[in-house]
Chains A and B, each alone.
Chain A
Amino acid sequence: MFRPPDDAVNERGRLSSEHLLAAVSEGDEAAFEVLYDRLAVQVFGLIRRVLRDAAQSEEVMQEVFLEVWRSAPSFDSAKGTASTWILTIAHRRAVDRVRSAQATSDREDRVGRQDLVRPYDIVSEAVERRLEQQEVRRALLELTDAQRQALQLAYYGGYTQSQVAKLLGIPLGTAKGRIRDALIRLRDVLEVTA
């Protein structure tokens, strides 16, 4: 199978991810390879966190990067960074898979048994290699336990707002408020701007 020569790959290594994506949109496979190597670890980390299952995670990983390849021409850097764009695709695909793969009752049992006892304990398990990750971790500590739990069930668990409410045994309006307050608080603590 043809592979872009190493030189072409090395040369692209110094481009920003946004430039790489622009090159990918022109059919540049060497740029795609560099972009994959740059983001694969975090994209796969997110998919595994949502899906757990290794085989399914690999399938979704493949779907995500093929979507990145196919729809690179529609990426608009004015609307966000390349990594946000790719992680958004990855999250949506992982969530779609988790919702279709498991019967709701099965998932609720699973959650009832383990996840609510110690819901996705990302704080204690967080990888601390990167400053950005440390900042996110610190920011998560700024949330109330209730906010963190609701956001983690939604984001890492792939549950909808009404499922979160049901799982936690709280009114829908309360669940909505916690998810919203949690994400907005994170945005403010992390000083994220559009």
Chain B
Amino acid sequence: MTDADLHLLTAAYSVDALDPDELLAFEAHLATCEACQHEVRELRRTAALLGSVSDEVPPQTLRTRILDQVHVTAQDRPAVEATEALPTPSRSPRRATTWLAVAAAVLAVALVGIGTWTISVDRTNARLAAQAEHVRAVLTAPDASVSSQPLPGGGRGTVVASSAQRISIFLGGGLAIPPSNKTYELWYIDNAGKATAAGIFVPNSDGSAVARLSGLAPAATHLVGLTVEPAGGSTQPTTKPIMLVRVKA
């Protein structure tokens, strides 16, 4: 098949109508052909419009089934990211009340994020806004609890948790910047001492960090831990936690 032939397969590809041999050839071509990538984006969008002409209300039992299953299904790439470029007013917070200042900064970011959403958004902004939205939701939750602890070297780690939402946010200040082969990792630790990875992050250059713990917090009172791990993170802690705070259910 010549390149000219392959260019003509964008439409059939976009409606999933390529025969298996053509599909393989076209996908190989598509990976390197920008013109085809562009056309496929347009034609996929067109096909999706065709796909949205028939409405049918799915049964409520199906909705329940799907939401239940989502609740126990892991995502393909679970990770938390340190919020980029978050303005943190204090480099080395000394008192627990400092989290209020951090919270105010986070709220400002959240409000900007919410105010500027549009149909077509840049992915980074979308992720930032989503993260800010989480942070805001937790900080403003009526049941938000705050646990804080000094870190070795003068920094401070704070966990704000909403037990109703089962979401926890880690706020860090004065964190040492890890070498490139190391990362910080957060953990949920239940009463039996079992640790569950809750995401890795690298602090901002000023030593601040805001990270949403991934997954759901345990329903019962538990600990949140912070360790230093090899880059990429570990499935179980391999070093002694530098922070260990109790979060009440």
Contact = CB atoms under 8 A, between A and B. Distances in A.
Nearest to B213: A27
Interface string A24-63: 0111111111001100111011101100000000100110
Interface residues of B, number: 73
Contacts of A156: 50
B62 to A, nearest CB: 5
Contacts of B50: 136, 151, 155-156, 186
Contacts of B18: 160-161
Contacts of A42: 51-52, 54-55
Interface in A112-129: 122, 125-127, 129
Contact of B123 (A5, A40, A77, A83): A77
Interface in B191-249: 212, 214-216, 219
A95 B133 CA distance: 36
A22 B67 contact: no
B95 interface: no
Interface string A123-153: 0011101001100110000000000000100
Contacts of B134: 23, 26, 28
Interface string B1-38: 00000001011101111110010000000000000001
A91 B62 contact: no
Nearest to B78: A27
What bracket does the count of chain A residues touching chain B fall in?
35 or more
B16 A91 contact: yes
B119 interface: yes
B58 A183 contact: no
A136 to B, nearest CB: 5
A44 B8 CA distance: 30
A14 B111 CA distance: 13
B15 A176 contact: no
Interface string A92-110: 1001000000000000000
Contacts of A23: 130, 133-134
Nearest to A90: B51
Contacts of A122: 53-54
A73 B126 CA distance: 12
Nearest to A183: B11
Given A4-B165, A23-B134, A183-B46, A46 B117 contact: no
A45 B62 contact: no
A61 B62 contact: yes
B54 A11 contact: no
Interface string A78-92: 111101100110111
Given A87-B51, A127-B54, A133-B52, A74 B77 contact: yes
Given A25-B130, A66-B70, A136-B50, A155 B17 contact: yes
Nearest to A11: B137
A8 B58 contact: no
A91 B130 contact: no
A65 B70 CA distance: 9
Interface string B120-151: 11110011011101100100000000000000
B130 A22 contact: yes
A58 B12 CA distance: 26
A77 B121 contact: yes
Contact of A160 (B17, B41, B48, B57): B17
Given A41-B58, A72-B75, A164-B17, 4 more contacts: A81-B120, A122-B53, A183-B14, A190-B49
21 contacts: A15-B117, A16-B119, A27-B78, A40-B57, A42-B52, A45-B54, A66-B73, A83-B52, A88-B44, A95-B16, A129-B55, A133-B52, A155-B50, A156-B50, A162-B19, A179-B15, A183-B15, A192-B45, A193-B42, A194-B38, A194-B45
Interface of A: 1-5, 8, 11-12, 14-16, 18-19, 21-23, 25-33, 36-37, 40-42, 44-46, 48-49, 58, 61-62, 65-66, 69-74, 76-81, 83-84, 87-88, 90-92, 95, 122, 125-127, 129, 132-133, 136-137, 151, 154-156, 158-162, 164, 176, 179-180, 182-184, 186-187, 190, 192-194
